Structures are given as structure tokens and as C-alpha cells.
Structure 1
Amino acid sequence: MAVTTKAHLQLAERVESFVRDIIVPYETDRRRTSHGPDEALIQELRAKAREAGLFNPHIAVDGVPLEHREIAPILRASGLSPLGPLALNTAAPDEGNIHLLSKVATPSQRERFLHPLLAGKRSAFLMSEPAAENGAGSDPAMLMTTAYQNGKIWVVNGRKAFITGFAGAEVAILMARTDRGDGKVAATMFLVSLPNPAIRIDRVPSTIDSSMPGGHATLTITDLRLTDEDILGGAHEGFAYAQVRLAPARLTHCMRWLGAATRAQEIAAHYAIKRMAFGKPLIDHEAVGFMLADNRIALKQSELTIDWCAGLLDAGEKGTTESSMAKVAISEALFKVADNCVQIMGGTGVSSDTVVEQIFREIRAFRIYDGPTEVHKWSIAKQIKREESGS
């Protein structure tokens, strides 16, 4: 099992200094769309990261991602600014897609799809579908998008929704329902180069978060033609490969948002010390001081939970239930941290004068993304039932 070495901690310190000194000043840069920084800003940030020798800090020299306990402090440091993961190439969905491709892709697929991501091309993960059409959301088994074989060609049709970063992506991992002939629900993952005329963006809805370039698109897929060489892993094994990606991705989300919540706490604490009210600094009022104390406790608990779950994944465990537990505990705790920070700062906290307001919005969305809290609790409850019933 991997441990966080002195070298990885030193790397995390370099990442933290880079984000604080170089990236944070860009938070007031106006080169933005309603769905995140524009391409010119992203490329400028990435040029800064390359210049500092910190692009892909979570990737070893052989192109394989580091172990989870090794990357935890690195991703936390990258998350100190909403722009940090984009600058360093540690952002979702690219980081999760890199992890999956490094584990499953063939050598030729790595050349076509993984290497561009490591070079900074953006990607998308096409699984979720429109709720109004009763498609797959938190339950992947509800997949409505289909892929059928026509000779040597696979033909894909369907709709996808809330596809993060699709606009501007050059690589996609697509999940579709396939028929293996046994009557059971099966899925296959396909790799797709983008743009592709068979995949059309219908709309990019406005959402509460604003850090993801390209937003969260709704798509229509019409007669997309693929071959066996485009299948990631084995045909009809998509659900199994999804777990290779989803369990670690939940945890790496937690790492980045721990950094963001830590930053919000720093800003709120500084505000509470400087701001006077009723004859003394805000922090000397018990209600405010206790909120900051609660925040510090929650941040430490989140850090320790990440380390625990990362250790299980690094030891080879699937970590499905454990990553659900971590995602629930941390997303709920960090949202409370961010909410406390907004409350402490009053009117300033709900304004764009600091990044606290954005961090609050981003972490609120995190309670839903990668599975809502309630779905993960339901999954954990089912595991408890299985254990207690001996089945």
C-alpha cells in the first residue's frame, strides 16, 4: 500500500505555492463564460503550470497516475482555487478519465486517447441521461442509449444529459446499453474522438456551479458509428469498468473540494479577526468563534477520511461502499464549512468580492454530482442489510 512520502509532500507544497502565488490572482480575470473560464484563460493558466514544471503533478514519469494517498495532498493543494485544477490538469472529468484509461485502455487506445489528455486536451464522460426521458442518472442500469452491432460496426443512438465539459472536449468515454444475449442489462464503454457530427449539443443549461469549462451539456446521439477497436475494455462489461472510474473519482473530488473549503475557512477567519462588531472582533463572539472551530474540526475529519479511503483503494480494494461513505461524509461536512463561512462574512459572503461565494456554490453542487448523498446512503444501507442477513 502506498504512503505519502516526503517527496510527494514536497511536491504538494510546490503546487500549493504555485496556486496561491500564481493562480489565485487570476480569480478576478474577466475572461469567462457563463460555464467557466474561456479557452484563452485556460491555456494561459496551463502555460504557467508547464513553466513551473507542475502540469500533471498527479502523474508519474511513466504516464501512470500516482497512488491515491500520494495524490491526496497534491489534489487538495490544486483545489485551493477553483482555477487550480484546470491549470494543473487535475480537474474532473479529465482526471477520472485519465485514471480509467490508464487502467483499461489498450496500447493503441492510450496513444489515441490517453496521451492527448496528458497533453492537456479536454474530455467528457457520457453516462447520465435526461431525467424527463427516464434515462440513467444515479442508477446506471437505467441506460436508454443503445449500441447494436451491424456487421463490424456498432451503431449508437440516444440522449445524454449533464455531460460536464463536452463543449470543447476532444475525447469522450461513452456508455451505451448493449445486448449480450442472456436477457440481462449490460453496457459497453466506447471511446470517441470529438467533435463528431453524430453527437449534437442540444443545450447547455445554466447551473449553480461555474468552474467547469463547457458546462454540463445535453446531447443527442444519432447513428454514431464505431468499431470494436473503439471499445474500452470488453464488450458488455461497461458497468464493471464504470466502478474502476467512479469509486476513485468520488474520492479525488473530495480531495479537490477539501482544498476549496480550506481556502474559504482561511478567508472567513481573516475576516472574523479584522471585522469589528459590538465592540470586539467577530471571532471573539462565541457564535462566530464556534463556527470557525466547527469548520476546523470538519476539515480535519475530511482529511482523515480521505486518507482512510485512499489507503483501501491503494491496497487493491474496490472501495465501493467506502468511497460512498467518504463522499457522503465529506460533501456534507464541506458544504457546512462553506455555509458557515458565508454566514460569518454576512453580506460580503454572498457577494463576489471574495471567492467564498463561488466555493459555496461549487460544493453545493458536489452534494449531487457523482451520486447524491441519499443514493449513497441507500447503497450503504443495502450493504448493511446484506451483511446482517448473511446474503
Structure 2
Amino acid sequence: MDFALSSETAALCDRIRHFVAAEVLPLEEDPANYDAHENICLDVLERVRSKAKAEGLWSLQMPKERGGGGLNTVAMAACYEEMARSIFGPVVFNSAAPDDGNMFVLNRVATEAQKERWLQPIIDGKVRSAFAMTEPAPGSGSDPSAMLTRAERRNDRWIVNGHKWFITGAGEAKHFILLAKTSDDPRKGLTAFLVAHDQPGFRVGRRIPIMGPEEHGGHCEVHLENLEIPDEDRLMEVGDGLKLTQIRLGTARLTHCMRWLGMAKRAVEIAAPYVRERKSFGATLAEHEGVQWMLGEVAMEIEIGRLLTMKAAATLDSGDFARKEVSMAKVAVSETLHKAIDTAIQLCGARGYSKDTRLEWMYRYARQARLVDGASEVHKMVLARNYMKEGSGFWSWH
């Protein structure tokens, strides 16, 4: 196993690191650069996005022929980690959720006509997108088969009725991927569709207040009332909706891990200078054994998360769905993110708890990590099923 990055990827990581340091991190320090939901203001974002495009650092996960960088998943893991050193970083490079996962799945499964209409504007940064699957109880959440939204075919059109909620980015999204039930088949009962925000029968409702800072567009309810969708806007075949979610969410879950690792490293980066300088009982905090244990444990767990993420990335690049590899990374990195930030706050004391650092922002943001794209408990169920099926083969080097 070779963990060395290619020279091209290493050079790209250096360019991203320098761009984040020079152009993005300074933006965090000015309260005027934040919107009402604690994310980067859109006018500021557009300015720094223009700089990222000019530097050739835009949509790196997309094919070169569509204006991207053509990175594979392993290279994405290294680059996304660098982007997420800033809380504003991923969206600056057009590598933030949910657009990131939507671009990936559309590039994989959409027809050429669909890519031109629905994908290319997202790659170009002209529109934002959302993935509408989650529903209020007893509808679909971690279990998509519980979906209540239904689509009925009438000649060359589909009529959709239902209610979605906690749809990330829906408040500003123009393009949506919508999942609906088209039959009662437990495996082939879901179908995916492409929908524009202004189609009759499609309405974005309440923006749901949440604990942490929000992505642009928030987390909204979506109401579907006799929404008509032409069959040409169906993604994949009828009944392939569950397959589409697996294609999308495998990579999307892992890109969360890539970004979370960058944020975890940033948290330690904030704490490290403080413990080097702050003195207590005749010595710097860094000289106290208890502080060394705290820092050493977090550093080790971040590295474990990186190794799990890289293994999952390499498995995806081999053509495998990497279900168990992605689940292991998702569980481990989501917990590491919280621990790294919590440890950094503890080491920085009152300063860490205040808004003088970005740690309190990160702390509120991090709590969602164990919920989004499948709760940790669901991923542990996946791992248990894989182990019961594979036995000792679960730990195969292949």
C-alpha cells in the first residue's frame, strides 16, 4: 500500500493551502463577511470564487471537459482536507455539500442532455442545488424504503405529491434531485427526478432553525402538490432511485469526512499556539503531561480518520461501492471531529468558548456530523451485517 500522493496532487494541495491562507482565512476575521445564518456573505463569496477560478482551483472533482480538475477520489481526499482548513473553504472552491454530491451523481448517471441542462450550471457556479429525499415521520430518513412521497405516471409525465423536510440548501437551490415512490417494491420502488425550483406544484416552505451555522439555503421543508415532471427529467430507469442514492451517498458521505478532517486539523491548529504560550503553575500548558496526552490522542485519531478515509477513497476508485469502508470512515471521522474541537476548546479555556476563535462555530457545526447522511448507529448496523456475512474476510487486505 502506497500512501504517497502523486507529484501533481501534492502540488495542487500546496496551491490550495496557499490560496486558503492568503484569500480565505482572513475573511473569517471580519464580522461583516458573515450573513445572518453565520456563513460567508454571498457578495463576498462571489468575489473570492472568482479568484479561485482564476487560479484554476474550481470544481476540481469534475471532469476537465466540463471545466473541472478531473480529480479521482484519492486526490479529492487530500485536496478537500486543505480546502476545509477554513470554515468558508469548501464553498469557495465549489466543493461543498450538497452541490458536491449532486454534481458527482449527475456526472455519473445523467444523460448528456440532462448534464447540459442540470449539471453544467452547478459546475459553473451559476445555480445551487439540493437533494430532496428526507421526509417527516413516518416517512423516509435513514431508511429510504419508508418514503411516502409518490409519483404516478400519466402518459409521458409524472404527477408527484408529498412533503420533504430538512432539505439542505433548498432555500437558495434552483435545481433539485427528487426521490419519490413509484411502486411498493422494497428494492425497486423508488425513482429519481430532476426538478426546477419554479415548477408549478413545487414549493419551498419553512426554513427550519437549527443549532449550528447553516449552509447557504438552510434546511427547509418542501411541499409537492400535483407537481408535473416530464419523463425526460427522470434520472436513470424507473425503480433505480435506491441505486442512485447509493451511488450519490457513498462518495458524498466520504467527502464529508474529507472536509471534517480539515476542520479537525484546524481546531488543533488554533489550540497549539495557545498551549505553547500560555503559562500555568510555572510552565507552559504544552509542558504539562495531561495536555500532551490530550493533544497526542486527538492527533492520533485524526490520522486514523485520514487512513480510513483514504482506504475508502481508493476502494471507490477501484469501482467498488465501498459500503463498509465509507461507513467506517463516516463513524470514526464524525466522532473525531467533535473530539478535536471539544479538546481545542478545553485547552483554550474561556477564549475557546468565546467568539474570539472559530471554535464555538465549529463546535455547533460538528454536532450534525453524527446525523447527516446516515446516523452513526445506522452505519454500525451496516458494519455488523457485513461482518456477519463475511466473517474474517471483513478484514481482507483486498
TM range (shorter): over 0.9
1:233-287 Cα distance to aligned partner (Å, 9 max, x none):
1111100111001111111110011111111111111111111222221111222
1:128 maps to 2:134: yes
User: Is 1:88–2:66 an aligned residue pair?
Assistant: no
1:258-337 alignment to 2 at 5 Å? 258-337=261-340
| Contact 2:150 2:161 survives alignment (8 Å) | yes
2:204 is paired with a residue whose SS is: strand
For these two proteins, the number of residue pairs brought into alignment is 387
Establish whether residue 144 from structure 1 lines up as the match of residue 148 from structure 2. yes
Partner-residue secondary structure (3-state), 1:33: coil
Looking at structure 1, the residues matched to 241 and 38 of structure 2 have their Cα atoms a distance apart, in angstroms, of 29
Cα pair 1:261 1:337 within 8 Å, conserved: yes
Distance across 2 between alignment mates of 1:109 and 1:344 = 50
The question of whether the paired residues in 2 share the 8 Å contact of 1:157 and 1:221 is answered with yes
Closer/same/farther in 2, CA of residues 211 and 74 from structure 1, 3 Å limit: farther
Q: Which moved more, 1:61-70 or 1:15-24?
A: 61-70
- 1:275-324, Cα deviation, whole Å (9 max, x unpaired): 12222211112222211111111111111111111111101111112211
Per the TM alignment, residue 325 of structure 1 is displaced from its structure 2 partner at its CA by 1.1
Contact 1:37 1:211 in 2 (8 A): no
> In structure 2, what is the Cα distance between the partners aligned to 1:183 and 1:149?
19
1:34 counterpart = 2:37: yes
Q: Tell me, in whole angstroms, the C-alpha distance in 1 between the residues paired with 2:118 and 2:187.
A: 30
Provide the rounded CA distance (Å) in 2 between the counterparts of 1:178 and 1:159: 15
Contact 1:15/1:74, CA 8 A, preserved across alignment: yes
Distance 1:230 1:126 in 2: 15
- Alignment gaps of 5+ in structure 2: 394-398
What does 1:10-25 align with in structure 2 at a 5 Å threshold? Answer: 10-25=11-26
Q: Take 1:55 and 1:112, find their aligned partners in 2: how far apart are those partners?
A: 20
Paired residue type of 2:133 = M
Q: For residue 388 of structure 1, report the CA deviation from its aligned partner.
A: 4.9
Distance in 1 between residues matched to 2:208 and 2:214, nearest whole Å: 14
2:208 aligned residue (201, 205, 210): 205
Distance 2:140 2:35 in 1: 31
Structure 1: state its 5+ residue gaps: none
1:58 aligns to what SS in structure 2?
A: coil
In percent, how many aligned pairs have the same letter?
Answer: 39
Distance 1:175 1:72 in 2: 28
Q: Deviations over 1:341-372 (max 9, x none)?
A: 11111111111111122122222211111111
Distance in 2 (alpha carbons) for counterparts of 1:99 and 1:62: 14
Letter in 2 for 1:190: F
Pairs within 5 Å for 1:1-391: 4-29=5-30, 30=32, 31-34=34-37, 36-63=39-66, 65-120=70-125, 121-131=127-137, 134-179=138-183, 186-388=189-391
Q: Is the 8 A contact 2:129 2:169 kept in 1?
A: yes
Q: For residues 80-127 of structure 1, what are the alpha-carbon distances to aligned partners after superposition, in whole Å with 9 as ceiling and x for unaligned?
A: 111011110000111111110110000000000110011012110001
Given residue 308 of structure 1, which amino acid in structure 2 is its aligned partner?
A: K
In structure 1, distance between residues paired with 2:391 and 2:276: 50
Cα drift, residue 389 of structure 1: 12
Report the Cα distance in structure 2 between the residues aligned to 1:231 and 1:147, rounded to whole angstroms. Answer: 11
Q: For residues 188 and 202 of structure 2, what CA distance do their matches in structure 1 show?
A: 24
Q: Distance in 2 between matches of 1:15 and 1:247?
A: 25
Is the alpha carbon distance of 1:43 and 1:339 closer, same or farther for their aligned partners in structure 2, counting shifts above 3 Å?
Answer: same
TM-score, length basis structure 1: 0.94
CA distance 1:283–1:129, change in 2 (3 Å): same
- Deviation of 1:194 (Å): 2.2
Please state how far the C-alpha of 1:185 moved relative to its aligned partner: 5.8
Greater relative contact order, per chain length (Cα 8 Å cut-off, separation 6+): 1
Aligned partner of 2:314: which letter? G
Q: CA–CA distance in 2 between the matches of 1:304 and 1:157?
A: 43
